[in-house]
């Protein structure tokens, strides 16, 4: 099994508050890994360190064989191009139509001609199941379509790794299913490494190849959905059952 990302003994504090107290995690290449855990346990902070946007206080992150701590600014920017990112609200540019939204990273990071840009934009839109919407504005689209446009933009530069930060938070069950399928299909079609931060246990069990649960600055369990379902780890059991009683401290 090939490893795309290795996080080794990661420590990160903000002032007195220790968010990460020694995170160790291997992200399997070309698989879908879900990162779960209570609010405020540092899931987003972990993603930022994986992308090299935040520096760890101690420990290191190795992305596709490169130790981020040894890279200069230019090399870091190059590594970042290997990531696609889909945020909770899709974060589209409201003043740009769908075509321009998806073309944006290509215009920013490549010197491709319009003809080639057009080909890529239409291909990515088709891949996420959208046709004939290029000239619509984001405000004219449904939430599900906006997510698809966000995903088309995230994969425009053909990233090797795609990060989803709470992609289904705030969605109704049907939309949640649509987005889950989108994550699954995208992974299957492109065969890329996917990391998903989620609070949605049902989605996690349905889509994940591997799950890592983070609590109190550490990974309390890593395994397959089957292993999570069977475990008697009290932290995992409490989190999955959504109970206020157990070793996880609330507030």
Ligand X SMILES: Nc1ncnc2c1ncn2[C@@H]1O[C@H](COP(=O)(O)OP(=O)(O)OP(=O)(O)O)[C@@H](O)[C@H]1O
Segment interacting with ligand X, rule: CB under 6 A, options 33-41, 89-97, 116-124, 219-227 = 33-41
Q: Annotate each residue in 91-120 with x if it binds ligand X (CB under 6 A) or - if it does not, as one string.
A: ------------------------------
> Do residues 186 and 137 touch, judged by C-beta distance below 8 A?
no
CA neighbours closer than 13 Å in the CB half-sphere of residue 249? 3
Q: Which two tokens stand for residue 156?
A: 């425009």
Which value, in Å, is the radius of gyration of the alpha carbons in the chain? 19
93/247 with CB nearer ligand X: 247
> Do residues 197 and 19 touch, judged by C-beta distance below 8 A?
no
CB of 49 to ligand X, least distance (A): 10
Segment interacting with ligand X, rule: CB under 6 A, options 38-46, 86-94, 104-112, 235-243 = 38-46
Among 45, 62, 120, 182, binds ligand X (CB under 6 A): 45
Q: Give yes or no for residue 176 binding ligand X (CB under 6 A).
A: no
Strands across the sheet containing 58-63: 17-28, 3-14, 58-63, 66-67
Segment interacting with ligand X, rule: CB under 6 A, options 39-47, 94-102, 147-155, 178-186 = 39-47
Q: Annotate each residue in 9-28 with x if it binds ligand X (CB under 6 A) or - if it does not, as one string.
A: -----x----x---------
CB of 41 to ligand X, least distance (A): 4
Segment interacting with ligand X, rule: CB under 6 A, options 42-50, 65-73, 138-146, 150-158 = 42-50
Strands 66-67 and 58-63: antiparallel
Q: Give yes or no for residue 41 binding ligand X (CB under 6 A).
A: yes
Q: Give yes or no for residue 43 binding ligand X (CB under 6 A).
A: yes
185/216 with CB nearer ligand X: 216
130/212 with CB nearer ligand X: 212
Q: Give yes or no for residue 57 binding ligand X (CB under 6 A).
A: no
Q: Which two tokens stand for residue 213?
A: 């649960």
**Which stretches of the chain bind ligand X, using CB under 6 A?**
14, 19, 39-45
């Amino acid at each position: 099994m090939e490893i795309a990302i290795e996080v080794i003994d990661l420590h990160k504090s903000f002032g007195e508050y220790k968010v990460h107290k020694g995170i160790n995690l291997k992200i399997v290449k070309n698989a879908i890994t879900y990162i779960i855990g209570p609010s405020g346990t540092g899931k987003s902070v972990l993603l930022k360190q994986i992308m090299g946007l935040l520096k760890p206080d101690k420990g290191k992150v190795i992305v596709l064989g490169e130790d981020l701590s040894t890279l200069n600014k230019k090399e870091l920017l190059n590594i970042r191009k290997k990531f696609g990112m889909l945020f909770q609200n899709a974060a589209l540019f409201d003043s740009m139509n769908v075509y321009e939204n998806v073309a944006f990273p290509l215009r920013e990071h490549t010197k491709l001609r319009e003809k080639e840009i057009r080909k890529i934009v239409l291909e990515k839109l088709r891949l996420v199941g959208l046709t004939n919407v290029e000239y619509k504005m984001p405000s004219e689209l449904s939430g599900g379509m906006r997510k698809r446009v966000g995903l088309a933009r995230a994969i425009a530069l053909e990233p090797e790794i795609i990060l989803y930060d709470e992609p289904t938070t705030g969605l109704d069950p049907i939309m949640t299913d649509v987005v889950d399928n989108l994550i699954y299909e995208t992974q299957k079609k492109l065969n890329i490494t996917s990391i998903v931060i989620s609070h949605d246990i049902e989605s996690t069990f349905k889509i994940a190849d591997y799950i890592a649960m983070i609590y109190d600055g550490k990974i309390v369990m890593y395994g397959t959905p089957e292993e999570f379902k069977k475990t008697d780890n009290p932290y995992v059991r409490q989190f999955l059952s959504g109970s206020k009683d157990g070793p996880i401290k609330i507030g």
